[in-house]
Amino acid sequence: MGGPSRGVILQLLLVLAVALFFAFVVANTKANLERAGLSAGYGFLWDTSAFDINQRLISYDSTNTYGRAFIVGGLNTVLVASMGVIAATIIGFLAGILRLSPNFLISRIVTVYVEFTRNVPLLLQIIFWWVILLALPRVRDSIQVGAFYLNNRGVRMPAPVFEQGSVVLLIGLVVGVVATILVARWARARQDATGHKFPVGWTGLGLVVGLPLVLFLITGRPIGLDLPEMGRFNLQGGFNITPELVALWLALSTYTGSFISEIVRGGILSVNKGQTEAAGALGLPSGLTLRKVILPQAMRAIVPPLTSQYLNLTKNSSLAVAIGYQDLVSIGDTILNQSGQALEVISIYMVTYLSLSLLTSTFMNWYNGRIALVER
Amino acid sequence: MRTTNWAKGAVMALAIAMAGVSAHAGTLEDVQSAGVLKCGINTGLAGFAYTDDMGTWTGFDVAYCRAVAAAVLGDPDAIEFVVLTGKTRFPALQAGEIDVLARNTTWTLSRDVDLGLTFVGVNYYDGQGFIGRKALGVMSATELDGASVCIQTGTTTELNLADFFRTNNMEYEPVPIETNAEARAAYEADRCDVYTTDASGLAATKATFDDPDAHIVYPEVISKEPLGPLVRHGDDQWADIARWVLNALIIAEELGVTQGNVERLAGGTDHPEINRMLGSEGSYGEMLGLASDWAVHAIKAEGNYAEIFDRYIGPDTRLGLQRGLNALYKDGGILYAPPFR
Amino acid sequence: MKSAPRPFFRNRDQMIPGRPAPVTQVGVLGWLRTNLFSSWFNTLLTVAALVLLWRIVPPLLGWTVFNADFSGETGEECTAAGACWAWVDQRINQFLYGFYPPRAYWRVNVALLLLIPAVAYVLFDKLPYAKYGRWYSLSYPVIAAILLIGGFGIERVPTDQFGGFMLNLVAGLAGIALSLPIGILLALGRRAKLPVVRYASVIFIEVVRGVPLITLLFVAIIILELFLPPRVSLAQLVRVMVMITAFSSAYMSEVIRGGLQSIPSGQDEAAQAMGLSYWKKMRLVILPQALKISIPGIVNTFIGLFKDTTLVVTIGLFDILGQARLLQTNPDWIGKVDHETFLLAALFFFVICFSMSRYSINLERRLDTTRR
């Protein structure tokens, strides 16, 4: 790089160019909007939306505002993205490990899965899963397991109805979770000090599930169940997961899962073979070797690229529009169509996805810092 | 940010390059100097806009575009089709990317006023209805409490549906789907109990089912959907042209002027309105800023309204639509064009 | 002197003939045993896998091939038992070339043929006439553009007639080619010592990578026109290309940054010691090495971008998926080809992306050995 003066001039020029560019764009936009007689601004968010949304995590109906519809859509995006991240991680780790399996058939099937999903556009895969789900039995011929019904309109299950006193159960659950974390810490400290193991898993299960269960019985069962029933057209009552959500979720998690499996495989292969042999020499069974020796070391290579896969998954959830899962983009499109506020709607898309990306990468960087610290 | 430099350079260069092409002028001058009409159409709607084996656009809406091109430029093929989705159609027209939009668009107040657009007429009177399986035993859309309803997103149908169920105090599960093909597939797979769209679409959809008689179109029509071509706000001359091409096609049917006889009739007849329309009497073309035989070209392109209707969506096509409301006023419909005078 | 310890073997008059390994260890049986039935868990997996295959493969083959209809003029002639492939015959050209005029199909084909040496000269060192080859590779985009769009005595084809698989290829290839120089600049900018340059690069890269491509395409199609001076209009494809290029250059810059980071700092210091200026140092020493290491990453970025070009269907361009949807709305075929058209498109993508990803893995291995 040249002397500081040259650097300064270069930077000033850059600032000037960027400023000019933005001035150019803003001036043009103004002129164009004026010419078309359009108004810019976010006031439309308080107008009545007048359309319905079939899946909502907060209450909403067609008399609410565009703004609230946006929030419903944003929450739906967050829902499918977080479900997808969890499932993709599980699928990815399983497939990555199974692909290295000594079982010829299994490793080949996993290879075929990985290659197919990685090399076909996601849009097609989303439609594929949706078509598969639509081929499930019709609502009148639902597959019934207890109070659970599976048909091509989704999975309908009993919904809990919280009555008075159910707060106690929530408190019990929180107490159970906190106690489990404390026990786990204590057990680890003890194992480090004495070498004795403590059955954290079972204790945790008892605390997290058992405690609320006992409270549930003591307080006189304050949670009722809303059971699905066949109505004239549909199953009524209970809680329904739509096939659109499931299709999108499956497509996103299998697609991203195949990328994650490659990362996991690469991570495992990057661990020195001597580690496996040493663990074998110590008499560790292969499952334990994988869990306690290989994966912790592989994680260091796995986590950074994992972050960008999570980001991709979140962004790819915007393809929901193809099958009518009402995420942010799908609802935003409808709003754009009704209100004509293109600039504003697209800016809302961008800001939302940017914030989601920022949140995810902040969290993953924190996690990455933690495992890196533990290792070194 | 080097890209901005690059982008700015590119944009500037293009701006300079293009500034010469499009001087400040009306749409008519723009179209005439470009020698091509930019017409916005649907991404694909059976009967209204679709491609044939050769990849050429054809259909009911496309025929209108061709008539406008023929009237303005004398050549029905001097068209650049710009294919637009539900959400890109208005921005494209506002931004001047297209000269006229013929994409089965419902004429509403907010679109006409707030979005800066001008509807020039109605080329198809439609209305939203429902189709369902006969096996459901439902005879009317008012019995649909609790049903799942398949619907195409991003259109006024979503709003009408919400209104209809709300006013009738009924619950429903909307299943919004982006394309007609997929919405249709979802209904056929029984993902929803009923499918709602414009009546023209319902008839077309019903005809394509394996067993059309197993389905019933309910009698309720829950909305008015006057579909028509539109142009940008603020260029009255261009709006007049777009309006009168449509009127000419309708009047041509009324007066029996067809693709086959229009050239012969253009030589002069003893019917004064035909003469005025086809340019052998008066100077109506000049008033519009067009050649005197503009209507001859427009009608020669695809024929009069009835011929276009029958060719693409009429009873003999796979869609099998009846004229219904779209018959001439003298045949019991509401198609009524102002006179050529 | 003690006698030597007696050997624990005895001399024999004749060798014991070699015995074959147990049948359970070699041959088909042995292979099966070690690979499929080595433990009860493994056996369980094998059985599960076989059941899965049995449930999927025969019905799939039946539907796609054995029960399918391959001839007919309209969807009416297709039976419901299997897939309907009758449309392929009359529509395959539109799937491949979109609305490109049939008399000019050869131009697309020639452009595609010319691409092969252009790519080869970039990827391989030891080709004959390598010096001229590089120049050819550099000028290929111009040649391809003239062939496809026309001008210079060739009939012009407006870009709105581009479509089908060709549109995917053009968008993907042009996106990568254009994003390479921009990506390099962004990667250098991100590592620059000048704070303004660095922050500007970081903001651009992170913003573009933080939003879905689909929203950038909306920008291209819906609001880019608003940013231009009134009455200035760009073709849809050009606007889409601008956004695709911006998108892929952000990804590209990260790939190249990875390449730059893997160059040992000794190279940098040595180049400075030689008295090379910044740009000379980059051009002659750092970038050639960094780019070579980045090639597998670039190929992977291309695969991703190529698959993403299908998103243009959501804004109304007629790439291969757009053509599929168009056929699905054709009155002759409506309701008959919903799955078949998408399946064929998937197959096209699979073949190309799969072979490229194989190539990239291969390349990665080769590059790896040369470095160690």
Give the model's confidence band at C369: pLDDT under 50 very low, under 70 low, under 90 confident, else very high. Answer: low
Other beta carbons within 10 Å of C106: 10
Residue A253 corresponds to which tokens in the numbers above? 């998690």
For Cα atoms B114, B116, B121, give the angle at the middle one, nearest 5 degrees. 100
Q: Is pLDDT at C12 greater than 80 in this prediction?
A: no
Residue B130 corresponds to which tokens in the numbers above? 């429902």
Note the pLDDT of residue B15.
46
The average pLDDT across A23-31 equals: 86
Window 62-91 of C, Cβ < 8 Å to B: 80, 90-91
Residue C198 corresponds to which tokens in the numbers above? 């660095």
Is B155 an 8 Å CB contact of chain A?
yes
Nearest chain B CA: its distance from A134 CA (Å) = 6
Taking only Cα atoms into account, the Rg of chain B, rounded to an integer number of angstroms, comes to 22
Q: Is pLDDT at C222 greater than 90 in this prediction?
A: no
Residue C3 CB-density burial (10 A; 0-12 exposed, 13-18 middle, 19+ buried): exposed
Please indicate whether, in this complex, the C-beta atoms of B177 and A340 are within 8 angstroms of each other: no
Distance CA A310, CA A194 (A): 39
Please indicate whether, in this complex, the C-beta atoms of C222 and A342 are within 8 angstroms of each other: yes
Nearest chain C CA: its distance from A153 CA (Å) = 20
Window 139-158 of C, Cβ < 8 Å to B: 158
Give the model's confidence band at A295: pLDDT under 50 very low, under 70 low, under 90 confident, else very high. Answer: confident
Higher-scoring residue by pLDDT: B5, A315? A315
Please indicate whether, in this complex, the C-beta atoms of A336 and B87 are within 8 angstroms of each other: yes
Window 18-47 of A, Cβ < 8 Å to B: 18, 20-21, 24, 32, 35-38
Note the pLDDT of residue B23.
38
Please indicate whether, in this complex, the C-beta atoms of B91 and C223 are within 8 angstroms of each other: yes
Task: Determine what percent of chain A falls in helix, strand and coil, rounding each to the nearest 5.
Answer: 70, 5, 20
Is C212 an 8 Å CB contact of chain A?
yes
Q: Which of C31, C218, C228, C338 to mutate to test the interface with A (most CBs of A within 10 A)?
A: C218
Pairing relationship of beta strands B215-217 and A148-151 according to DSSP bridges? unpaired
The average pLDDT across A353-357 equals: 93
Phi, psi of A156 (to 5 degrees): -110, 130
Taking only Cα atoms into account, the Rg of chain A, rounded to an integer number of angstroms, comes to 26
Say if B22-125+226-331 and B128-223 have the same CATH topology.
yes
Query: What share of chain A in percent tops pLDDT 90?
Result: 31
* Closest C-alpha among C230, C215, C99, C95 to residue C165: C95
Contacts of C307 in chain A (CB under 8 A): 119-122
Note the pLDDT of residue A133.
92
Please indicate whether, in this complex, the C-beta atoms of A36 and B8 are within 8 angstroms of each other: no
Is A137 an 8 Å CB contact of chain B?
no
Nearest chain B CA: its distance from C113 CA (Å) = 25
Window 162-221 of B, Cβ < 8 Å to C: 179-182, 184-185, 188, 204, 208-210
Return the domain boundaries, chain B: 22-125+226-331, 128-223
Q: Please check whether residue B279 is in contact with residue B266, taking contact to mean a CB–CB distance below 8 angstroms.
A: yes
Note the pLDDT of residue C350.
94
Nearest chain C CA: its distance from B318 CA (Å) = 7
Return the domain boundaries, chain A: 4-38, 66-120+243-375, 161-220
Distance CA B67, CA B120 (A): 14
Question: In chain A, whose CA is at the least distance from the CA of B154?
Answer: A334
Q: Which CATH number fits domain A66-120+243-375: 1.10.10.2120, 2.30.40.10, 1.20.120.420, 1.10.3720.10?
A: 1.10.3720.10
Note the pLDDT of residue B2.
42
Please indicate whether, in this complex, the C-beta atoms of B47 and C331 are within 8 angstroms of each other: yes
Of A130-144, A216-230, C249-263, the range with the lowest mean pLDDT is A216-230
Give the one of B11, B55, B182 whose C-beta lies nearest to C99's C-beta: B55
Q: Is pLDDT at A158 greater than 80 in this prediction?
A: yes
Helix (H) or strand (E) holding A50: none
Q: Which residues pair with B101 in a beta bridge?
A: B40, B230
Q: Please check whether residue B104 is in contact with residue B313, taking contact to mean a CB–CB distance below 8 angstroms.
A: no
Please indicate whether, in this complex, the C-beta atoms of B4 and A17 are within 8 angstroms of each other: yes
For Cα atoms A137, C45, C22, give the angle at the middle one, nearest 5 degrees. 150
Pairing relationship of beta strands B79-84 and B37-42 according to DSSP bridges? parallel
Helix (H, G, I), strand (E, B) or coil at B217: strand
* Closest C-alpha among A171, B97, A249, A157 to residue C240: B97
Q: Is pLDDT at A271 greater than 80 in this prediction?
A: yes
Distance CA B304, CA B311 (A): 11
Window 98-157 of C, Cβ < 8 Å to A: none
Nearest chain A CA: its distance from C246 CA (Å) = 15
Q: Is pLDDT at C288 greater than 90 in this prediction?
A: no
Helix (H) or strand (E) holding B307: helix B305-312
Q: Which of C225, C330, C334, C340 to mutate to test the interface with B (most CBs of B within 10 A)?
A: C334
Measured in whole angstroms, how far is the alpha carbon of residue B113 from the centre of its chain? 19
Contacts of B47 in chain C (CB under 8 A): 331
Please indicate whether, in this complex, the C-beta atoms of B153 and A321 are within 8 angstroms of each other: yes
Give the model's confidence band at C19: pLDDT under 50 very low, under 70 low, under 90 confident, else very high. Answer: confident
Residue A17 corresponds to which tokens in the numbers above? 């160019």
Residue A186 corresponds to which tokens in the numbers above? 């204590």
Q: Please check whether residue B220 is in contact with residue B130, taking contact to mean a CB–CB distance below 8 angstroms.
A: yes
Question: In chain B, whose CA is at the least distance from the CA of C235?
Answer: B97
Please indicate whether, in this complex, the C-beta atoms of B233 and A36 are within 8 angstroms of each other: yes
Ramachandran region of residue B82, left (φ > 0), alpha (ψ -120 to 50) or beta?
beta
The ipTM of this complex is 0.83
Query: What share of chain C in percent tops pLDDT 70?
Result: 93
- Token pair 């505002």 is found at A65
Please indicate whether, in this complex, the C-beta atoms of C321 and A103 are within 8 angstroms of each other: no
Question: Is the dihedral angle over the CA atoms C55, C61, C66, C72 positive or is it negative?
Answer: positive
Give the one of A62, A152, A330 whose C-beta lies nearest to B191's C-beta: A152
Contacts of A319 in chain C (CB under 8 A): 214, 311
Question: In chain B, whose CA is at the least distance from the CA of C218?
Answer: B88
Torsion, CA B315, CA C73, CA A127, CA A99, rounded to 10: 170
Please indicate whether, in this complex, the C-beta atoms of A105 and C193 are within 8 angstroms of each other: no
Amino acid at C134: R
Window 94-133 of B, Cβ < 8 Å to C: 95-97
Helix (H, G, I), strand (E, B) or coil at A161: strand
Contacts of A33 in chain C (CB under 8 A): 226
Q: Is pLDDT at C186 greater than 90 in this prediction?
A: yes
Is B36 an 8 Å CB contact of chain A?
no
Distance CA A342, CA A350 (A): 12
CA atoms within a 13 Å half-sphere pointing along the CA-CB vector of A297: 14
The average pLDDT across A238-250 equals: 91
Q: What is the DSSP letter of B76?
A: T
Nearest chain C CA: its distance from B43 CA (Å) = 6
Of A296-300, B109-113, C229-233, the range with the lowest mean pLDDT is C229-233
Q: Which residues 6+ apart lie within 8 Å of A167 measured at CB?
A: none
Window 314-333 of C, Cβ < 8 Å to A: 314, 321
Note the pLDDT of residue A351.
94
Is C341 an 8 Å CB contact of chain B?
no
Q: What is the per-residue pLDDT across B112-141, written as a single tens digit (0 to 9) for each?
A: 888 889 999 999 999 999 999 999 888 999
Amino acid at C361: I
Question: In chain B, whose CA is at the least distance from the CA of A48?
Answer: B159
Is B19 an 8 Å CB contact of chain A?
no
Contacts of C50 in chain A (CB under 8 A): 105
Distance CA A37, CA B138 (A): 47
The average pLDDT across C176-185 equals: 90
Distance CA A367, CA C52 (A): 37
The average pLDDT across C132-141 equals: 84
Distance CA B300, CA B295 (A): 8
Phi, psi of C269 (to 5 degrees): -65, -40
Distance CA B269, CA B218 (A): 47
Q: Please check whether residue B97 is in contact with residue B41, taking contact to mean a CB–CB distance below 8 angstroms.
A: no
Measured in whole angstroms, how far is the alpha carbon of residue A42 from the centre of its chain? 29
Q: Which residues 6+ apart lie within 8 Å of A1 measured at CB?
A: A7, C192, C193, C194, C278
According to CATH, what is the number of the domain B22-125+226-331? 3.40.190.10
Please indicate whether, in this complex, the C-beta atoms of B88 and C325 are within 8 angstroms of each other: no
Note the pLDDT of residue A332.
92
Please indicate whether, in this complex, the C-beta atoms of B114 and A340 are within 8 angstroms of each other: yes
Amino acid at C354: F
Residue C289 CB-density burial (10 A; 0-12 exposed, 13-18 middle, 19+ buried): middle
Amino acid at A147: A
CATH fold of B128-223 reads D-Maltodextrin-Binding Protein; domain 2 (3.40.190)
Q: Please check whether residue B290 is in contact with residue B71, taking contact to mean a CB–CB distance below 8 angstroms.
A: yes
DSSP structure string for C204-246? HHHHHHHS-HHHHHHIIIIIHHHHSPTT----HHHHHHHHHHH
Window 100-129 of B, Cβ < 8 Å to A: 111, 114-116
* Closest C-alpha among B228, B247, B191, B29 to residue B111: B228
Q: What is the DSSP letter of A302?
A: H
Nearest chain B CA: its distance from C280 CA (Å) = 19
Give the one of A37, A234, A337 whose C-beta lies nearest to B116's C-beta: A37
Kindly give the parts of chain B with pLDDT less than 50. 1-24
Give the model's confidence band at C6: pLDDT under 50 very low, under 70 low, under 90 confident, else very high. Answer: low
Note the pLDDT of residue B13.
46
Q: Please check whether residue C214 is in contact with residue C314, taking contact to mean a CB–CB distance below 8 angstroms.
A: yes
Distance CA C328, CA C343 (A): 13
Note the pLDDT of residue B178.
80
Q: Is pLDDT at C123 greater than 80 in this prediction?
A: no
pTM: 0.85
Is C224 an 8 Å CB contact of chain A?
no
Is B175 an 8 Å CB contact of chain A?
yes
Neighboring chains of C (3 or more beta-carbon pairs < 8 A): A, B
Nearest chain C CA: its distance from B85 CA (Å) = 6
For Cα atoms C339, C343, C349, give the angle at the middle one, nearest 5 degrees. 150
